[in-house]
Amino acid sequence: MKLFQTQRLPDRARVQSALQTLKTDLSRSLEDDLISLILYGDFIKEMGFRVATGPVNVMLVLRHISCQRLDKISPVIRKAEKAFPLAIMTLTEEDIKTSCDVFPVKFHDMQRFHRLLAGRDVLSDLAISDDNLRLRCEQQLKNLMIRLRAAYLRRNKGEQELSGILSEAANHFLRDTAACLFLKTGVAPEDESDLSEDFGQHFKIDVSVMQDLLQLRDRQTPPRSQELTDLFDRFMKLVHDAAIAVDALEAN
């Protein structure tokens, strides 16, 4: 069993064309009910691990949400899903404003990496509490730590499975550490190598395994069993140490 589910995306030009069609169809179907259509997440992140896999994340913000409105756009969504893997999140503005406290890392990441497709940008001016962000960063790092240990215990498909688990877990770690670094310093580099190095420097943690994981994605075949085990062991320690370091921010 894989730690995270991934999908290989079609050609970027094809996805962009399909997104334009989605924008046109939704604008026509919803008219004034459409507040915002926003592309966010991995598809627009030009960094390492995160551009190769899907799905494409789209946030649809409506004035009101009901079964009638969802029924109205359901054929449009199904049409788009035939062209590319689509993960659509449908919210109202009130939903967004009242969700920043429970999903601060997610909305912080969306603020950093999003593109407005239609309507008004409802993400740029969101206020995300530092206390909520710190707590959620720690929670997600500890959750990742627990899931990594469980995934290693139940592995049953050899090197290919472990390699995939490491790559996908690294995606999640980088997103979480970007939020942690922003919380501590007020900035977070977009380049993955710089992000890892800055995180290690500011939190005083050995992050050298991240460079090995960045190189892992470019290999045509996964490393042998012992090398993968060593990578897994070092990465689990990094996630553990990061969680402890973020927990210590509470006392600062």
CA nearest 58: which of 22, 93, 103, 24? 22
CATH code, 12-119: 3.30.460.10
Under the phi-then-psi rule, with left for phi > 0, alpha for psi from -120 to 50, and beta for the rest, what region is 123? alpha
pLDDT given at position 156: 60
Q: Where are the domains of the chain?
A: 12-119, 130-251
Q: Which tokens sit at 26?
A: 């939704």
- Where the chain has pLDDT below 70, the residues are 1-10, 46-54, 156-158, 220, 222, 250-252
Domain 130-251: which CATH number of 1.20.1260, 1.50.10, 1.20.120, 2.60.120: 1.20.120
pLDDT given at position 6: 47
pLDDT given at position 157: 61
Q: What's the pTM?
A: 0.69
Q: Which tokens sit at 124?
A: 């740029």
pLDDT given at position 52: 46
Phi first, then psi: what are they for 58, rounded to 5°?
-130, 135
CB atoms within 10 A of CB 46: 10
